[in-house]
Chain A
Amino acid sequence: AQTVTQSQPEMSVQEAETVTLSCTYDTSESDYYLFWYKQPPSRQMILVIRQEAYKQQNATENRFSVNFQKAAKSFSLKISDSQLGDAAMYFCAYRINFGNEKLTFGTGTRLTIIP
């Protein structure tokens, strides 16, 4: 079974600084998607960014970018110019890109922004 590991239960960063959240996954597949979801205190789950394994270029969405290392099975999220609104739980998720496969989630990283 595929597993997703987020080894940092909690992280903190100074406002306006950059922070990187780690995610590793275990798979024998070559075609898959990776996702980062954000869960602010409102508890809504919001998709932050996605990466297709066949795309070598790292995905970017405004201040959010990923460092996708396929051989190392690593998918870290970088948040630049951190803002107070970035405070949230962040979940990494994985999905094989065929058939009826479901998303598998990591255990989450709670990010605190220090004013």
Chain B
Amino acid sequence: DADVTQTPRNRITKTGKRIMLECSQTKGHDRMYWYRQDPGLGLRLIYYSFDVKDINKGEISDGYSVSRQAQAKFSLSLESAIPNQTALYFCATSQHPSSEGSSGELFFGEGSRLTVL
């Protein structure tokens, strides 16, 4: 089983609909992230959370919100989806960089492809 699980894997929706992408992890990491991947733009950070009570905006947070329900769960919501939010979304986790042996590398889920018509 994957250490970082995203649901759904694929979703097609219509403009104006509310969408939630869910992420759960069994790695025991405190840090969780949501990234968005677009062709030619690489991965851009939407939101991140360093513990259950900590939520931070990334570089492209407009139009998105998140909820950290537990250490292992971090969900991303699009309150009113629009076509330019069509993208591949990744959830990722990491250890605290001060953890022994940690370089702060990210461990990714398998991605959620969202299409907004």
Chain B residues with Cβ under 8 A from A64's Cβ? none
A33 in complex: contacting residue of B35, B41, B45, B103, CB < 8 Å: B103
From residue B57, how far is it (CB to closest CB) to chain A in Å?
Answer: 11
Residue B88 is within 8 A (CB to CB) of chain A in the complex: yes
* Contact, CB under 8 Å: A43 / B88: yes
* Contact, CB under 8 Å: B105 / A35: yes
Chain A residues with Cβ under 8 A from B113's Cβ? 43
From residue A47, how far is it (CB to closest CB) to chain B in Å?
Answer: 6
Alpha-carbon distance between A4 and B41 when the two chains are bound, in angstroms? 11
* Contact, CB under 8 Å: B88 / A106: no
For A110, the closest partner residue in chain B by CB is B39
Interface size on B, residues (CB 8 A): 23
What class of interface size applies to chain A in its complex with B?
20 to 34
Known: A45-B90, A97-B104. A102 touches B110 (CB 8 A): no
Q: Give chain B interface residues in 6-45, CB to chain A under 8 Å.
A: 33, 35, 40-45
Residue A78 is within 8 A (CB to CB) of chain B in the complex: no
From residue B5, how far is it (CB to closest CB) to chain A in Å?
Answer: 12
Chain A residues with Cβ under 8 A from B103's Cβ? 33, 35, 50, 52, 95, 97
For A108, the closest partner residue in chain B by CB is B42
* Contact, CB under 8 Å: B110 / A105: no
Alpha-carbon distance between A100 and B55 when the two chains are bound, in angstroms? 12
Known: A43-B110, A44-B111. A50 touches B43 (CB 8 A): no
Closest 4 CB pairs of A and B: A45-B108, A107-B42, A105-B43, A105-B42
- Apart from the given pairs A43-B110, A47-B106, A95-B97, 12 other A-B contacts in the complex at a CB distance below 8 Å: A6-B42, A35-B105, A44-B108, A45-B90, A45-B92, A47-B105, A52-B103, A102-B45, A103-B104, A105-B43, A106-B42, A107-B42
Write the residues of chain B forming the contact surface with A, with a CB cutoff of 8 angstroms. Answer: 33, 35, 40-45, 48, 50, 58, 88, 90, 92, 97, 103-106, 108, 110-111, 113
8 A–B contacts, CB within 8 A, in A order:
A33-B105, A42-B110, A44-B108, A95-B97, A95-B103, A105-B35, A107-B41, A108-B42
